[in-house]
Amino acid sequence: MSSPPAIDIRSLRVDYGNFVAVNDLTLQVPPGEVFGIVGPNGAGKTSTFRVLTTLMEPTYGEVILSGVDVLEDIESARRIIGYMPDLAPVPSDLKVWEFLDFHANAYGIGNRAQRRDRVAECLEEVDLTNQRDSWCNKLSRGQTQRVVLAKTLLHRPRVLILDEPASGLDPLARRDLRHALRKLAATGATVFVSSHILSELAEMCTSLCVMNRGKLLASGTVEQVREQLGSNERTLTASLLSGHEQAAEWLSAQPAVHDLQRSGQQIIFGYKGSDESQADLMAGLVRLGVRMRAFEEKRSSFEDILVEVAESNRN
């Protein structure tokens, strides 16, 4: 039998007066996933997180985390949730271990020796053991984010909810954070992470969803999301050794081809069609008898897809 979802959101709606922030959101995330939620400002990400973390009540709907009804049993839900808000502050007058020990004590984690051991474990999980005695105000942005993540892990939450954890991080820090989250998921924890940068989540997550104006538009793996959003636009480049004029004339007559241009031995054009029809296009060029050296594809970036989604949903 399959395990129940770690995150089970059913018909969630959040209203602010006449404004609908989250509109009938239904979503399930299995245990051990790094699951991303992406969307432009106003998509409903923050409101969804506020409900999941028991910081607000929805207009209606259900939220069940690892079998616990968040709206009916807030205290039990809080014991299994680890929440890392965007740009979470750390005190400037504490060392890293002092900051973590303070929160371990607040969580009621054993005696001093047990807290020391748990702090050491969490620092190791985020690869910051060598920063144990550093002052918090001397840490880099990436190190600070990982210290806050270590704090979030202290009470061994089964569901981690991270709001824009990679915001402002350089590529090396994002890589370190990505590795840390995947290590956590490998232990069975479920990580629910938000971002407005789709390519960032594509690198970090095992699966993701896209929201806009409160509605769920797509969910699944990166490729499944791309397919669900119907973004099959791509740029194709045919590098030819002969038959350039013949190939350009034939391609221009194909219904899915647009913006064709020649550059030396290359013919570059936009194409919007299925993978099967693209294969037929290549076969057609071969039948023409042109000598083709290469046929390259460049798909729309995830940022382009998100911009297209946002623009298509404007009034």
Name residue 166's amino acid. A
Contact 199, 302 (CB under 8 A): yes
pLDDT reported for residue 309: 64
Q: Which residues contact 11 (CB under 8 A, 6 or more apart)?
A: 24, 25, 26, 60, 61, 62
> In 3D, which of 85, 75, 24, 90 has the Cα closest to residue 49?
85
Name residue 201's amino acid. L
pLDDT reported for residue 78: 92
Residue with tokens 């729309």: 300
Helical segments of 154-193, H only? 171-186
pLDDT reported for residue 313: 57
Give the β-pairing of 159-163 and 81-84.
parallel
Sheet containing strand 60-65, strands side by side: 19-29, 7-16, 60-65, 68-69
Contact 57, 71 (CB under 8 A): yes
CATH class of 233-299: alpha beta
Residue 259 burial by Cβ neighbours in a 10 Å radius (0-12, 13-18, 19+): exposed
pLDDT reported for residue 268: 94
Alpha carbons 82 and 210: distance in angstroms, whole number: 22
The distance of Cα 75 from the centroid of its chain, to the nearest Å, equals: 28
The 10s digit of each residue's pLDDT in 261-314 is: 999 899 999 998 778 888 999 899 989 999 999 999 887 666 666 666 666 655
Alpha carbons 169 and 174: distance in angstroms, whole number: 6
pLDDT reported for residue 6: 94
Q: Which ranges in the chain are annotated with CATH 3.40.50.300?
A: 7-228
The distance of Cα 30 from the centroid of its chain, to the nearest Å, equals: 15
Q: Which ranges in the chain are annotated with CATH 3.30.70.100?
A: 233-299
The distance of Cα 129 from the centroid of its chain, to the nearest Å, equals: 27
Alpha carbons 302 and 225: distance in angstroms, whole number: 10
pLDDT reported for residue 311: 65
Name residue 44's amino acid. G
Domain 7-228 falls in which CATH fold? Rossmann fold (3.40.50)
Q: Is 27 helix (H, G, I), strand (E, B) or coil?
A: strand
> In 3D, which of 74, 94, 192, 172 has the Cα closest to residue 138?
94
Contact 119, 100 (CB under 8 A): yes
* pLDDT string in tens for the chain (315-residue length): 567 899 999 999 999 999 999 999 999 999 999 999 988 888 899 999 999 999 999 999 999 999 999 999 999 999 999 999 887 788 889 999 999 999 999 999 989 999 999 999 999 988 899 999 999 999 988 888 889 999 999 999 999 999 888 877 778 878 888 888 888 888 889 999 988 776 777 778 889 998 988 999 889 987 788 777 766 678 899 999 999 999 999 999 998 899 999 998 999 999 987 788 889 998 999 899 999 999 998 876 666 666 666 666 555
Q: What Cα–Cα distance (Å) separates residue 88 from each residue in 14, 84, 130?
A: 24, 7, 22
Q: How large is the greatest C-alpha to C-alpha distance in the chain, in angstroms?
A: 80
Q: Return phi, psi of residue 81, to 5°.
A: -100, 135
